[in-house]
Structure 1
């Protein structure tokens, strides 16, 4: 069925539509209140089927490439918006605007229901009432928390308060031992107020840390001083210095987008109780380099992506720099999700307008710095080398590890300007051969695309066969994703590798054909891919060793003299896992076995650790 016939079959219902090119590659995903009206508006039908007049240059170019169309009918416009957002994140269509950072941000919180509350980190809304949240923080939350616990003698660990006697933290004067009643609730609440003051006033915290860093330096404790220096830098990066607050107690989320040529930048600022809690930014890049960015779609993607997560602290309003055409629709989306009406406004004067201007100034500076960096970046060189449609910025590299079929694991490392260790992933695998192991690893990753969208490029530790496997998996799920593989050259390979002289060969796809590159060892592009491969290998090996030790411990545990299989089954039935058995006290073990057997197990693990 040709495109014109397909257009005639469009329903008068809400839904999501998808455009494809002549090769079946996904071009664009959109939503519609009435599919028939929305999709037909892209075309004119006489004298023949052509792109409609008055389309933006980006959409006009896209429509000229459309050869086929599919759609999904949903009950209403709200569901269409949610499905559209989900599909765009998973499939990365060529002409849609893509935003990387739509994860749930960490919050610092304190639970005032507890007698002696402590500060902790969460990424979700907790069920209890009387909890105070601070954030969101794009960076620096853990550093702030660690610093506060060093300065203020709060209960240091969650397990401490459950103990019946003062521990090491009391002895080193980092806790006043409420577990032994050495501090009253009233006195402890003053410590809490002091800790919270450091969260409300980051400059005070930074000043305290700077003083401590100088003390360490004067005492020639340079390593500790450097750790504090790095911590101070991380905390400082968590917010833009505005030099102002709102002079109110409002909670406000600000989104500012600035476009320059084919690149844009998004700055988010989060005000809590009238003060700037944190800020962050992301570059917005189309999936093809010569495509311009639409400001309306960019704001829509930014707002929907952010509020499609759990939000512990909702704003009173959202402020942006541009009036939205589909503002009502987005406000309804937020209201449906959180049962709260949050207006989206564009202030024209006053403090809020001033803060928007600060955000836009930061956008301009970020775009300036980005253009300087992009002209000579290794990413641009990779685009040219592999004949890619766009410059890759986010990479995922995969490797597997095992020993004689034992403790088989897969590993994924992530790079975006640096190794993003929080996004590294391990996979316990069932497969026995290298091909099946990589297949299992990549399929596990594909399953998580909805929560963690695909990167710009996969790097596979392997040769042509594994590259083709990755391409098949990519094609089966329809995502736009570039893939390369890196493998050792196979020339008299046993002797060659033993001497450490085997060269790395790069495999990549070029218009559907797999090609290989033999680059010089000094080539920066090769060195970058090698760096990703080496980190994935290190990460896989470290997890493999951990799993192997775990397996060995479990096997040897079954061989403890005096502990037979029946007793071991009894322990597992009671404790659930070997790890729980290992961490059990003598009294707990005696509840299952006799004292002699319990002592055998305790002494066994002491010997292992010793």
Structure 2
């Protein structure tokens, strides 16, 4: 019997997650099912000893099924557990035919503890376990600017020390604090200031008017630097106000999701409404080589956003497309479990909620239109890179790695990220490394990156600073993780065993698995693109190395002042590799290296 047919016939009928692999052991797809046997059989048509893709499925599904060589399953207690596991595995392994959403960050909320005598507005991303907490948000942008504005415009208690202190400070003199420390205000009168704060939080137009008035006053006084700060803050806060003209009659608490798809690109928009007002919105651009499955996007977006309990959950989530009753039941169960509240998922057909869905979709469509125009030329270029490198996917997101060290000390590494025609600097990462050679350092850095795939999903392509040995190392690490990530290396041309970096004519070499060594002319834009990425990774790693070195020099100077000589320092650093390692070493280990010194005094210094 055909092994695949035999596997399908022996599948269990319980809940679980299934994984499709091709003949090269590449992961194609991850799905979940209430009944694994029933769900998986729907993908196939079996005739005797022959097995084919089910012709009633979409062309994309049929193409995927035609590549399936074997199936793995993971059994779980129920469909909700399967839903969570499916989402986690998609993020960690990035299968070829699943769409991966990266935006799973938690958004900040402004909160006030109303039980305190002198409450102070602050920011949180987590639930604070007190019934007296009043939340506002979520804010996808501008929360920090709002808090700063409240503390500058109103006489709020500026710090906890202002309550515990015994004497009024500078904040009182400049009329920024009411000085509860000297009993110049009582809790009842302070409540008026807190209510005014709440009014400004809930009415952004009023807050903006006060900020603009302050900015104009500073300009008239020729205090342009301070006025510029207010100008930038106003600009940031106005981004929140993009839907401020919407007039809703009821005090709805809603989260609205809408997806606009055009060919192989899509934009998912999220709009957050609290007490009938739109608080904020955000969007994520989705790029895929295959068709985009709308239902799976909504499902993944909900799991990502509500995976942790949010401080101010909605009463309902609005979706533009009707989900199956089975999916809605599972998702609502997930929401109840994670948000500690019953949240309905609905597909409105009329009225204000229908209007809100249309508004969200209209905005998603407009964002997609402008972004498609922006990315058109880049998509062509990335498709050329895919063809050049012989890789299996278009490299929409690229991570680049480099290491830096000097004589085996201050060993560091850097990872930079490139996506959507730009360096994504908030996703850069530094690594302090223990390895004493470039190979072991790269091994350590890549292994540590793989270990974070579950929380920070893998990219489409890794670019490694190095040649064949380094990309073989990276491939082995990735294969052990099971993640679908392509790898290439870029190495400097060597003349007489020395790296050749002649400006404008650097003949760097690309190392690939599918096309072997690729040699391009120095003026080839594809080579220059990878050189730009490698140089940015090198700059980032070097900057961290210099910082560590400066810290080492400072510590070195302190130790010398304490009478610990150069020879002793060299012995310690040669043995332990860094000041951090000396700091964490056991006293007996230090004593073994420096027999005449007191190890406790060295660790203290």
Where on the TM-score scale, by shorter chain, does this alignment land: which range?
0.7 to 0.9
Aligned to 2:493: 489
Q: Show CA shifts across 1:125-162 (max 9, x none).
A: 22233122222222222233233333334333455545
Aligned to 1:95: 97
Report the Cα distance in structure 2 between the residues aligned to 1:426 and 1:158, rounded to whole angstroms.
34
Report the Cα distance in structure 1 between the residues aligned to 2:553 and 2:441, rounded to whole angstroms.
22
Aligned to 1:303: 302
Distance 1:129 1:438, change over 3 A: farther
Determine if the alignment matches structure 1 residue 475 to structure 2 residue 474.
no
User: Over aligned residue pairs, what C-alpha RMSD do you find?
Assistant: 3.1
Q: Show CA shifts across 1:329-371 (max 9, x none).
A: 1111212223322111111222111111111111211221122
Q: Show CA shifts across 1:471-528 (max 9, x none).
A: 322222122223344443323565845x7677262525353x44334354583x5555
Distance 1:75 1:244, change over 3 A: same
Aligned to 2:209: 207
Distance 1:197 1:218, change over 3 A: same
Aligned to 2:292: 293
Report the Cα distance in structure 1 between the residues aligned to 2:347 and 2:18, rounded to whole angstroms.
30
Distance 1:428 1:187, change over 3 A: farther
Deviation at 1:376, TM superposition (A): 1.2
Deviation at 1:393, TM superposition (A): 3.5
Determine if the alignment matches structure 1 residue 445 to structure 2 residue 449.
yes
Q: Show CA shifts across 1:144-198 (max 9, x none).
A: 3233333334333455545444444444443333344343323333333333333
Report the Cα distance in structure 2 between the residues aligned to 1:201 and 1:353, rounded to whole angstroms.
25
Aligned to 2:36: 35
Query: What's the secondary structure of 2:495's corresponding residue?
Result: coil
Q: Is the 8 A contact 2:112 2:119 kept in 1?
A: yes
Aligned to 1:599: none
Query: What's the secondary structure of 2:395's corresponding residue?
Result: coil
> How does 1:199-348 map onto structure 2 within 5 Å?
199-218=201-220, 221-238=223-240, 240-241=242-243, 243-286=245-288, 289=289, 291-325=290-324, 326-348=327-349
Report the Cα distance in structure 2 between the residues aligned to 1:105 and 1:9, rounded to whole angstroms.
45
TM-score by length of 2: 0.84
Report the Cα distance in structure 2 between the residues aligned to 1:13 and 1:330, rounded to whole angstroms.
19
Distance 1:541 1:222, change over 3 A: farther
Aligned to 2:22: 21
Query: What's the secondary structure of 1:392's corresponding residue?
Result: coil
Report the Cα distance in structure 1 between the residues aligned to 2:511 and 2:224, rounded to whole angstroms.
46
Deviation at 1:45, TM superposition (A): 1.0
Q: Is the 8 A contact 1:464 1:507 kept in 2?
A: no
Aligned to 2:383: 383
* Structure 1 gap segments, 5+ residues each: 564-577, 580-604, 606-610
Report the Cα distance in structure 2 between the residues aligned to 1:420 and 1:215, rounded to whole angstroms.
37
Report the Cα distance in structure 2 between the residues aligned to 1:244 and 1:528, rounded to whole angstroms.
45
Compare 410-419 and 217-226 and name the one that shifted more: 217-226
Aligned to 2:415: 412
Report the Cα distance in structure 1 between the residues aligned to 2:181 and 2:425, rounded to whole angstroms.
36
Distance 1:516 1:193, change over 3 A: farther
Aligned to 2:585: none
Which residue of the other structure, out of 131, 141, 151, is the alignment partner of 1:129?
Answer: 131
* Structure 2 gap segments, 5+ residues each: 565-578, 581-604
Q: Is the 8 A contact 2:118 2:157 kept in 1?
A: yes
Q: How many residues align?
A: 560
Report the Cα distance in structure 1 between the residues aligned to 2:272 and 2:139, rounded to whole angstroms.
9
Q: Is the 8 A contact 1:133 1:312 kept in 2?
A: yes
TM-score by length of 1: 0.83
